[in-house]
C-alpha cells in the first residue's frame, strides 16, 4: 500500500479517526485522570510511535491536565541504534528517559536456540519499566497494543492455554502498584501502518525475536489475516464480542451463579 502524504486530506481524515478512537478508549475506560503522569512506553515500533503522537495531540486539547513522559528500554541488542529515539524525542520536545538494561544477554542465555523468546523478554522488559515507573511518580503506564493484538491474544489463550482471556484496555498490575492502559485498544493495525508511513516514524526493528516466524502469535496473525480476507470485518466483530460478554451463556461458575439458578 502506498504511503499517505502527511499533508493530504486523506491523512487528516485518518489522523482525526485515530484521535477519535483513542479519545473514545480513554473515556470509555477512564484511562487518564486529572494530573496523571503517563509513562508512554516507546519501543521504536510503529504502534508506540503512533500512540505517543496521538496522546500528544489529545494532551493539547484535553479537558483535564496530564503529563506525558516517553520511556524506552535499551535492551542492549547488537546493532541497536541508540541515537534514534533520543534524537527523535529531543526534536519533538517530549520529556523522555532511556533505561539501560541488558535483557538481551539474559534471554539469549536462558532460551534455547529456536525457541520463542517473546515470553521471557516481555517479563524482563515489564519488570524494568515497572521499576522505573514506581521510582518516578508515574500513575499510568501506556502500552501500544492495538485491537488486533487484543484479538490475537484471545486466540493464543484459547488455542494454547485453554483460557478465555485477552488483553484488557486497562488493568492493575499483579502487585497492585501500577495501572496499565492501552489507548490504542480500538485501533486496527492496518490503520496504524498507514499512519506510521505517512508520519515517517524512524522505525527500529526488533532483532531479538522479529525473525521467529514459527512463534505462536505469528500463526494466529496469519489465521486472522486469512479470515479477514475471506470475511472482511471479522476481526472487528470478534473484538466487539469481547466488549459484550454474556457470562450466563458461557460455563464459568466463578462468573455466573449457576447453582443459584432456579425456575421462577
Residue 262 lies in a domain: no
- Total structural domains within the chain: 1
Residue 13 lies in a domain: yes
Assess if residue 152 is contained within a domain.
yes
Count, residues in the chain: 264
- Sheet with 170-172, strands from edge to edge, namely 96-100, 67-74, 37-41, 140-142, 179-181, 170-172
Residues 206-221 as b/e (b if ≥16 CB within 10 A, e otherwise) read bebbeebeebbbebbb
Task: Answer yes or no: is 264 within a domain.
Answer: no
- Lookup: cell for 188: 486496527
The residue ranges of DSSP E strands in the chain, in sequence order, are 37-41, 67-74, 96-100, 140-142, 170-172, 179-181
Query: Which CATH number is 108's domain given?
Result: 3.40.50.620
What are the grid coordinates assigned to 260, written together?
Answer: 443459584
The answer as to whether 144 is a domain residue is yes
| 219 occurs within a structural domain | yes
Residue range of the domain that includes 50: 9-249
Residues ≥6 apart with Cβ < 8 Å to 197: 1, 3, 4
pLDDT along the chain (264 residues), means of 10: 66 96 97 97 94 96 94 84 93 94 76 67 84 96 97 95 95 93 97 96 72 70 95 96 95 94 89
pLDDT of residue 1: 45
pLDDT value for 6: 63
Residue 70 covered by a domain: yes
Distance, in Å, from the CA atom of 37 to the CA atom of 140, rounded to the nearest integer, reads: 6
pTM of the model: 0.89
Identify whether 204 is part of a domain: yes
Amino acid at each position: 500500500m502506498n504511503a499517505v502524504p502527511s499533508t493530504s486530506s486523506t491523512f487528516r481524515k485518518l489522523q482525526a479517526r485515530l484521535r477519535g478512537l483513542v479519545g473514545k478508549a480513554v473515556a470509555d475506560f477512564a484511562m487518564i485522570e486529572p494530573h496523571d503522569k503517563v509513562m508512554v512506553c516507546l519501543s521504536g515500533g510503529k504502534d508506540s510511535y503512533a500512540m505517543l503522537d496521538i496522546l500528544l495531540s489529545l494532551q493539547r486539547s484535553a479537558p483535564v491536565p496530564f503529563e506525558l513522559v516517553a520511556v524506552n528500554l535499551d535492551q542492549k541488542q547488537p546493532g541497536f541504534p541508540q541515537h534514534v529515539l533520543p534524537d527523535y524525542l529531543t526534536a519533538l520536545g517530549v520529556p523522555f528517559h532511556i533505561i539501560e538494561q541488558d535483557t538481551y544477554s539474559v534471554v539469549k542465555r536462558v532460551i534455547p536456540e529456536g525457541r520463542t523468546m517473546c515470553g521471557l523478554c516481555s517479563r524482563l522488559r515489564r519488570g524494568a519499566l515497572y521499576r522505573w515507573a514506581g521510582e518516578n511518580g508515574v500513575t499510568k503506564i501506556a502500552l501500544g497494543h492495538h485491537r488486533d493484538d487484543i484479538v490475537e491474544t484471545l486466540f493464543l489463550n484459547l488455542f494454547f492455554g485453554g483460557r478465555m482471556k485477552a488483553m484488557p484496555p486497562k488493568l492493575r498490575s499483579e502487585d497492585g502498584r501500577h495501572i496499565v492502559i492501552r489507548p490504542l485498544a480500538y485501533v486496527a493495525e492496518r490503520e496504524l501502518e498507514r499512519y506510521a508511513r505517512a508520519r515517517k516514524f524512524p522505525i527500529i526493528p526488533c532483532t531479538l525475536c522479529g525473525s521467529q516466524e514459527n512463534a505462536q502469535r505469528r500463526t494466529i496473525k496469519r489465521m486472522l489475516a486469512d479470515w479477514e480476507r475471506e470475511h472482511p470485518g471479522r476481526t472487528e466483530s470478534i473484538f466487539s464480542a469481547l466488549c459484550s460478554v454474556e457470562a450466563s451463556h458461557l460455563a464459568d461458575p466463578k462468573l455466573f451463579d449457576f447453582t443459584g439458578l432456579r425456575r421462577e
